[in-house]
Amino acid sequence: MKGPEPYLNDFDIQLPCCVDTTQMAILDPEHRAFVNHEVYFFSSDATRDQFNAEPYRYAGRVTDPVSLTRFQPTSSSQHRTAAGRVFYFESDSTLALFDRDPALYSTPKPTMQEIR
């Protein structure tokens, strides 16, 4: 999946690091991570590594890729790695559906329809 860095940089948008909010994030592919369908940016390799060790501590609320329900993952939340990212699940039932066909849920689904 293509990242948002070109758009953020084109509009000169700056974001705080999601681990150390006193620092500004570096907006490039080496300093980002995806959890579920959310993207997170980091101020250094060390903060990226810290995030990757325990993403649930820093991610905040995420969207279950199956039910599309927002929830706060914890250390005991079920999770899988697919399509180069970690996915957390709100329940065993959504994990079971994901396990049947990870490719079906690994791509974000639009939640709003265009008005014509």
Domain boundaries, the chain: 5-105
> Are 102 and 83 within 8 A, CB to CB?
yes
End-to-end Cα distance, the chain:
28
pTM over 0.75? The answer is: yes
Residue type, 101: D
pLDDT digits (tens, 9 = 90+) for 17-45: 999 999 999 999 999 999 999 999 999 99
Instruction: Evaluate if residue 61 carries a pLDDT over 50.
Output: yes
In residues, how long is the chain?
116
Q: How far apart are CA 114 and CA 38, in angstroms?
A: 21
Mean confidence (pLDDT) of the chain: 91
